[in-house]
């Protein structure tokens, strides 16, 4: 068993990358897939905080040479494993991102999937997270600023000759005049994997420090996360008509965006 590594990348903040990583990981674990999520946002790690983990040892300790990687991996919901980062400034200043590749290699044989939370934008840290991926998943919101950021990150990723699994369009249904799925796919040259609605259950699940797919499994966004994770793992799940699609069925443009992945 050697893990398939997916890095979730985003060119702009506010796309919900950490929430996406947590819920993809939890959904894969719920499918009985041995899954590890790694918080590689070394400057602003929040995976541990969002899941309410009490962390004595973190990825930062491992990168600074003060701990073994297996001591920094924690149990999460549905047997999900989590490698969180530290919010300590001292820990951040003493980390060596160049050690990331060796650390990931040391645990690859213990898992089927590794999902990496990369910092937004372009930096040495994000480049390291990108370089470790077998495939990249581009996360964006359906607006022009998010698309511009996505195009820049994709250009950098292409220069590293990395493969893309596709695009997740997140937080749809928030503003008018959202970008169409055709415009997004044409601009990035990638297929849309899933289109996720803005869902209040996300905020509620964060308050409970639990993945939305665990706390509110029947919510529209949970349906999307599970469908996406099933595609990643090769599991077939029945098509589900979500509340968001029903609500917008009379709005042709919105309906088209939200149902692209069901062609």
* 8 Å CB contact between 113 and 36: yes
Instruction: Point out which residues pair with 192 in neighbouring strands.
Output: 167
DSSP 74-120: EE-GGG-EEE-----HHHHHT--GGGHHHHHHHHGGG-SEEEEEPPS
Q: With the C-alpha atoms ordered 65, 71, 72, 73, is the resulting torsion angle positive or negative?
A: positive
19 annotated to a ligand binding site: yes
Q: What is the signed CA dihedral for 31, 245, 187, 10, rounded to 10 degrees? A: -50
120 annotated to a ligand binding site: no
17 annotated to a ligand binding site: yes
15 annotated to a ligand binding site: yes
d(CA 119, CA 151): 16
d(CA 171, CA 100): 31
* 8 Å CB contact between 24 and 103: no
Contacts of 52 (CB under 8 A, 6+ apart): 209
Which positions make up the binding site for ATP?
A: 12-19
Which positions make up the binding site?
A: 12-19
């Amino acid at each position: 068993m050697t893990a398939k590594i997916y890095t979730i990348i985003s060119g702009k903040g506010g796309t919900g990358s950490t929430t996406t990583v947590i819920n993809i990981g939890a959904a894969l674990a719920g499918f009985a897939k041995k899954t590890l999520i790694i918080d590689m946002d070394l400057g602003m790690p929040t995976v541990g905080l969002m899941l309410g983990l009490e962390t004595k040892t973190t990825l930062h300790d491992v990168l600074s040479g003060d701990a073994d990687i297996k001591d920094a991996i924690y149990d999460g919901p549905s047997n999900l494993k989590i490698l969180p980062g530290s919010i300590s400034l001292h820990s951040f200043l003493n980390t060596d991102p160049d050690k990331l590749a060796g650390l990931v290699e040391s645990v690859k044989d213990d898992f089927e999937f590794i999902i990496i939370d990369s910092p937004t934008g372009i930096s040495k840290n994000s480049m390291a997270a990108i370089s470790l991926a077998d495939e990249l998943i581009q996360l964006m919101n359906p607006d022009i600023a998010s698309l511009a950021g996505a195009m820049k990150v994709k250009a950098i990723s292409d220069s590293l000759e990395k493969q893309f699994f596709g695009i997740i369009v997140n937080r749809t249904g928030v503003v008018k005049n959202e970008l169409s799925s055709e415009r997004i796919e044409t601009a990035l040259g990638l297929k849309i994997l899933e289109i996720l609605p803005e869902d209040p259950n996300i905020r509620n699940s964060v308050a409970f420090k639990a993945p939305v797919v665990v706390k509110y499994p029947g919510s529209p966004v949970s349906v999307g996360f599970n469908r996406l994770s099933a595609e990643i793992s090769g599991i077939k799940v029945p098509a589900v008509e979500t509340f968001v699609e029903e609500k917008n069925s009379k709005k042709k443009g919105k309906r088209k965006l939200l149902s692209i992945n069901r062609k």
